[in-house]
Structure 1
Amino acid sequence: MEDRKESELKSFCSRNILIILGFSSIIAVIALIAVGLTQNKPLPENVKYGIVLDAGSSHTSLYIYKWPAEKENDTGVVHQIEECKLKGPGISRYAQRLNEIDAYLTECMERASQVIPKSQHQGTPVYLGATAGMRLLRMENEQLADKVLSVVTKSLNNYHFDFHGARIITGQEEGAYGWITINYLLGKFTQKLSWLNLKPNGGNSQGTYGALDLGGASTQITFVPQNERIESPSNALHFRLYGKDYSVYTHSFLCYGKDQALRQKLAKDIQGTNGILRDPCFHPGYEIVMNVSELYSGPCTKRFEMTLPFDEFQIQGTGNYQQCHESILELFNTSYCPYSHCSFNGIFLPPLHGDFGAFSAYYYVMEFLNFTSEETPTQEKMIDSMEKFCSQPWKELKTYFGDVKEKYLSEYCFSGAYILSLLLNGYHFTADSWKNIHFMGKVIWVLAGLWADWVTEAALGLKEVGVSLLSLAWCPVLPFTCNPS
């Protein structure tokens, strides 16, 4: 009897021990799995974000960037992760409707709030840089320009980001930003930063690229002259980048962006008409009615303003490239030059030197005209293509390019002719130097940290500029350069 009880006890204990061991094994396996999953779980990404609003003359775009936070001195590759184009014109057009600015900014700022993790909002800097559109408004009415910036500032301060200010940059700064951006990304300041494999056509691969920027209200040319003294002090910038000194020529032509140049041409050509302007820069069959008061609004057309016997006029396209080109040339005064070399309007321009990157509207227009898919075509080929394009009937063009907005489509003939006139007759590119122009896509300058102040001080020779991405968060929107997600 006792043996049986002892046997049952042993059996009971054995069963329980097995159950306990089995349960423990299951727990251990679960624990191991949990540890394994934890070990393999990616660590939180240690990155920083930045928001830039590029407030141009015709529109404003918001860009979101991120970069590794753990890099020494916050240096590292900046990735553009989002672009949001604000619905509406440039901010200068809101001068008479300030109450609409808040709504104008809302959609893209809300998008930024969704893209950037909420935990990062307070540490994310926001910058707004306004260019030629606001420079023109400030020329016309400084108080109104200040009001626009004040309302923009108030609106952006409502978001839980680290707002660093909204300001109007100078034409000289805009030229400097474009030049530094291109050369930084091409690795021209140091071999360690060779992001692109572009090589100049012959010549020294260490030489810097010039920068050609074309916007709606202004255009900039910036480059390092070869063994030439910069005769006009206002056109000179002096940088020390990575231990090397650079003497850079730059000039910004306000009112010579493609939109304001067109307004100038129309204001000039409407004189002496009966209210019907037969314009060779628009396609045959194209017609549109404009108000004279709208044409004369703003500083760029003031020199052509006169009393006319009509309040509105009609444009009728005739589509003739050569006549369009001749009309555009009248905008460039090359009759006098107080220096050894000039571009136009008496502005000093040293002899062109090296390769040039042409971006912004240069690229948009040339891409549409199919001049960017291979090496830069010859002048002759481009002129021949422009003659054929401008002579195409408007009705046929609309059918073929039905997805392009009519305003943009109608102006490509003028814009293409204007670009060729500006480069060939304004800046004096020749058959030899023409091949050194590379249409590179748009390059976005980004006002980050104290970069604007660094540029100013460097221009005055007050400090050496080491281009780090703490103070420089530039990113070109090129498929082979940037890393958009």
Structure 2
Amino acid sequence: VHDLGKVVAMLLSHCLASLTTIHSVPCIGPEITGLFYPQYGIVLDAGSSHTNLYVYEWPAEKENDTGVVHQVEVCKVEGLGISGYSHDTEKAGLSLQHCMKRAQEVVPEQHHRETPVYLGATAGMRLLSLQNRSIADRVLSAVEKTLRSSPFNFQGARVISGQEEGAYGWITINYLLGNFKSSRGTSGALDLGGASTQITFVPDQEPIESQENSLHFRLYGKNYNVYTHSFLCYGKDQALRLKLSTQNGSLLDPCFHPGYLRIMNISDLYTNPCIANGEQQLPFTQLHLQGNGDYQRCRMTIQKIFNTSSCPYSSCSFNGIFLPPLQGEFGAFSAFYFVMNFLNLTTEKSPVPLDKATSTVESFCSRPWHEVKAEFPKIKEKYLSEYCFSGTYILSLLENGYGFTMEKWQNIQFLGKIGSSDAGWTLGYMLNLTNMIPAEKPPTRPLSHASYVGLMVFCSLVLVAVLLLSWLAFHKPKCLQKGLI
């Protein structure tokens, strides 16, 4: 009995030591079950052309695990992006009400007060701030008014920088792919919006020559020296404006389908910070665009908006911006994915070869407008008419702007979703603001609810055994006395 008591005492000691390492689990009380409820976060992506609201969910006991946060809802806000309400700023806030009500339906009512809500505005608001800072501030105030009136825990609405947008997109895709806790390295991120485009990756070259394009992260005990750059005015919508600003009067436009006609006001084109010359004194007030669907000529006109004449570094993309040699796999999302998916150039397996992508876009551009319109009657004319330009622009940007050769093109994967979550910057933004990715690797993995209960039952049984043996050792019942002598 004495020896057995030693063994049981040792087991009890180990059991108690294990229990003392569980910092996050209360010992008693009704709160114990609350720890394992799901938690929620809401992020609004206020882009240049529209706003999306995302609702994320994760189990509280796995808060610092990669890949456990998943998207449970996306709500597309009707109407313009918030920067489009510069002439009626109050409507910027009112436009969000429908999706905020949808979020209240998705997030259980008992979690409303603890659920953080963030709004990040991107390149559309960056441009509006450059054009008229006071109007941009009024737009944000209207947005804040609506978000503060919701039952959620409003954490702020602000214009994020292009560098932040690139970095958060990189964090999102690597978090969802589980790269931060693996040995396979990280993936680069390619993001394309309406007003800006971002490229972000970890290069082999160190140090990064241009410090303004360099970011340092320490995540899960690993250091990452990240290259990132955001090209304001080179999102697909603003790039089209840049291209059109190089043309004059009535013309055949190679980037629209044969038979397509569009009339644009000169004032709409030139009153924009992206057009360097400002509003020009022209003898006409409108542009009459008539498509002729010539891919090769379209690509030539697009090349004019990329300045590759000088590079103050060892290597550049365009406009004198440093770009280190491309390294590793890349995930291309947002408009990169939407445009290429429409053109049937996305695949879950091996990427579509560059030459096939080129021939596909070329063939699509040459199709008559009446034929394209008849095939896709449910797509808004503005979007449908611009797929030829957008597809050509994407190929030109990736191949000529960033240097994705035919070989390196195979490293690009066009991503709509990773699991249940959209690829984009919003998840990375929330993870950063809620400190859900630790700088250091957690020393011990917190126990799950089932493991905790199992350990408590085991320790209880050991304790009962110790008490029983102690009683037997001191009282020595008659039936055992002979065996003990």
State which of 341, 344, 361 in structure 1 corresponds to 2:315: 341
Query: Is the CA contact (8 Å cut-off) linking 2:66 and 2:176 kept in structure 1?
Result: no
Q: How does 1:55-454 map to 2 (within 5 A)?
A: 55-71=46-62, 77-191=68-182, 206-270=184-248, 275-303=249-277, 305-373=279-347, 374-441=349-416, 442-444=422-424, 445-446=426-427, 451-452=432-433
Compute the displacement of 1:453 (Å): 9.1
d(CA) in 2 for partners of 1:421 and 1:172? 22
Change (3 A) 1:300 1:433: same
Matched residue of 1:289: which SS?
A: strand
Tell me the amino acid that sits aligned with residue 227 of structure 2.
Y
Superposition deviation, residue 79 in structure 1: 2.7
Given the superposition, is the C-alpha separation of residues 304 and 96 from structure 1 closer, same or farther in structure 2, using an over 3 Å criterion?
closer
- The alpha-carbon deviation at position 465 of structure 1 amounts to 6.4
| Separation (CA, whole Å) in 2 of partners of 1:75 and 1:416 | 34
- The answer on whether the counterparts of 2:43 and 2:430 sit within 8 Å (CA) in structure 1 is no
Letter paired with 2:312: P
Q: Secondary structure at the match of 2:42?
A: strand
Provide closer, same or farther for how the CA distance between residues 327 and 164 of structure 1 changes in structure 2, counting only shifts above 3 A.
Answer: same
Contact 2:67/2:175 (8 A) holds in 1: no
Question: Structure 1 residues 111-120 or 415-424, which shifts more?
Answer: 111-120
Q: 1:130 to 1:282 in 2, by over 3 A?
A: same
1:207 Cα deviation (Å)?
A: 2.4
Query: How far apart, CA to CA, are the structure 2 residues paired with 1:453 and 1:237?
Result: 19
Provide the alpha-carbon RMSD of the alignment.
Answer: 2.4
- Cα separation, 2, equivalents of 1:163 and 1:140: 28
In 2: Cα distance, 1:139 partner to 1:314 partner: 29
Partner of 1:18: none
In structure 2, what residue type is equivalent to 1:402? Answer: P
Q: Distance in 2 between matches of 1:294 and 1:62?
A: 29
Tell me the distance in 1 between the aligned counterparts of 2:369 and 2:381. 10
Distance 1:418 1:117, change over 3 A: same
Q: Aligned equivalents of 1:162 and 1:143: distance in 2?
A: 26
Matched residues, number: 403
Cα displacement string for residues 258-293 of structure 1 (whole angstroms, at most 9, x for unaligned residues): 0100011011123xxxx3121000000000111100
**Residue type at the aligned position of 2:105:** Q
1:464 to 433, 439, 458: 439
Which SS does the other structure have where 1:122 is aligned?
coil
Contact 2:205–2:324 (CA<8 Å) still a contact in 1? Answer: no
SS at match of 1:57: coil
The letter for the 2-side match of 1:53 is L
One-letter identity of the residue aligned with 2:319: N
1:169-220, Cα deviation, whole Å (9 max, x unpaired): 11111111111111122222113xxxxxxxxxxxxx7121111111110000
Range that drifts further, 208-217 or 62-71? 62-71
Tell me if structure 1 keeps the 8 A contact 2:46–2:82.
Answer: yes
Q: Give, in whole Å, the separation in 2 of the partners of 1:75 and 1:122.
A: 25
User: Larger deviation: 376-385 or 330-339?
Assistant: 376-385
Please give the secondary structure, in 2, of the residue aligned with 1:246: strand
Q: Tell me which amino acid in the other structure corresponds to 2:423.
A: V
Deviation string, structure 1 residues 349-399 (Cα, Å, up to 9, x no partner) = 111111111111100010000011352222221111111110000000011
For structure 2, which runs of at least 5 residues remain unmatched after alignment? 1-32, 417-421, 443-485
Summarize the Cα distance change of 1:72–1:218 in structure 2 as closer, same or farther, 3 Å threshold.
closer
